[in-house]
Structures are given as structure tokens and as C-alpha cells.
Amino acid sequence: MIENQSDNIDNKESDVSNQDNAPEEISSTQISTNENDELSSKNTEEINTEELKNTISNNDARLEQLEKEHETLKNQYVRISADFDNFRKRQSRDQDDLKIQLVSKTLTAILPIVDNFERARQQLKPESEEAQALHRSYQGLYKQLVEVLKQQGVSPMRVVGQQFDPNLHEAVLREHSEEFEEDFIIEELQRGYHLEGKVLRHALVKVSMGPGKQNSQEEVEKDTVEEDVDSEVNTSENV
């Protein structure tokens, strides 16, 4: 009995000693595990940091590329917009020019009728009451025609006394004039017209050559008369 009790006591002491040694072994394992975890965590953080840097670097490069693409597309848009605006303006000008050409062609065909009206007005001199009534009706039609032309932007040129301009006038005749200097218009042979500030039809005109040759001719005639007088005086003296 006593021996068994002593054995139990020994077993209890060994268990107590084992229990005292066990915590020491567990704590060292935990420390090792914690150190490994810390190392792993540091390595993970370093890896994450490196990946983050690479991601930021890639994003910066991508952003720079996108900015360049944006600038290129912006420049293309500006050029296309400018080209379209120029095209629209050119189309508008072409349409305006075409409209003016069509109107000019039509009005140019009407102008000879106006010329005939003006010639008839200058030549006809109605004397009877019936002829005067007809003349007034005739003049009424002429005024209506002139008013229509005015509404379309047509205006007549006033050329007599103006200096000759080949952009506006067409010289048909040239003659000497005491009244007008050289290259000034003496007479209007056919009226010219403007359309919205542009020449619809050139005016046919007579242009002055100045008084030079007429004066020279008078001086020659004067000298001839004086020579004849001197010749007669010398003849009488010789006789």
C-alpha cells in the first residue's frame, strides 16, 4: 500500500514537471511562428509596394499616352471644323455668285428693251391729243420697267464729264474737245448699269482727245494767212 502511494506521488510529480516544461516549448514555437508571420508580412508588403509602384508607373505612362491621343484628336477636330467652316462659306459664296450670274444674265437680256424705250422717248414728239395719251401710256410702261430693275438692285451709270475708266466704260469714239480735257467722257452712246455695286453692262462712250490738235490747226491756218499777207506786201513793194 505504502509503495503504491509512493509510486502515485512520483507519477504526479513527473506530470507536474512535464506540465511545467510544456509552456516553455509552446511559447518558443509561437515566437518562431510570429517571426515567420512578420517576415511574410514584410515580404508581402514589399511585394505590394513594388506592384503599386509598377501600377502607378504604368498608369502614368497610360495617362501620358491618352493625353497625347487626346491632343491629336483635338487638333484633328479643330482642322476638320475649320475645313467644314471654309467649305460652308465657299458653298455660300458659290451660291451667291451663281444667283448673281443668273440674275445678271436675265437683266442683261432686258436692258436692250430699256434702250429702245429711251430712244423712242427721245425721238417721239407727240403733237395730237391722241398721240400724247399714247405717249403717256408708253412712258408709264417704261417707268414700271425701270422700277422693277431698281428693285433688283440695278442702277444706271452717270458717265458724261467723268474720267474714262476701262473697268466701267468702253470707248467707241475719240475726238477733240474744247470743253473736256483728254481722257474725259464727252458723250454717252449707250448707258451702262451697275448690279449691287458690280458692272452689269459697260457704258459705250465718246472720249475727249483734248484741244491740242485743234489749236495747232488754228495756229497753222493763222501762220498761213500771215505768210500770204507778207507775200502780198512784198509783191506790191517790188512793183
Q: pLDDT tens, 48-66?
A: 787 787 888 888 888 888 8
d(CA 82, CA 75): 11
Q: Is the pLDDT of residue 140 over 90?
A: no
Q: Is the pLDDT of residue 142 over 80?
A: yes
Looking at per-residue pLDDT, the higher value among 127 and 189 belongs to 189
pLDDT digit string, tens, across residues 148-191: 999 988 999 999 999 999 999 999 999 998 888 899 999 999 99
pLDDT at res. 101 = 85
**209 inside domain:** no
Residue 208: Cβ within 10 Å count: 21
Number of domains present in the structure of the chain: 1
**188 inside domain:** no
**81 inside domain:** no
pLDDT at res. 238 = 44
* Nearest to 156, CA basis, from 123, 188, 122, 124: 188
Looking at per-residue pLDDT, the higher value among 55 and 77 belongs to 77
Percent over 70 (pLDDT), the chain: 69
**140 inside domain:** yes
d(CA 115, CA 118): 5
Q: What is the dihedral of CA 86, 88, 89, 90, to 10 degrees?
A: 80
Q: Is the pLDDT of residue 21 over 80?
A: no
**148 inside domain:** yes
pLDDT digit string, tens, across residues 200-219: 999 999 999 988 654 444 44
Q: Cell 417704261 maps to which residue?
A: 142
pLDDT at res. 156 = 92
**105 inside domain:** yes
Q: Is the pLDDT of residue 129 over 60?
A: yes
Which residue segment(s) compose the domain that 144 sits in?
90-152
**144 inside domain:** yes
pLDDT at res. 229 = 42
Q: Is the pLDDT of residue 234 over 50?
A: no
Residue 60, sorted as left (phi over 0), alpha (psi -120 to 50) or beta, turns out to be alpha
Q: What is the dihedral of CA 211, 214, 216, 217, to 10 degrees?
A: 180
d(CA 130, CA 199): 40
d(CA 44, CA 49): 8
Chain mean position to CA 131: 57
**8 inside domain:** no
pLDDT at res. 60 = 83
Q: How many CA atoms lie within 13 A of 229 on its CB side?
A: 6
pLDDT at res. 227 = 54
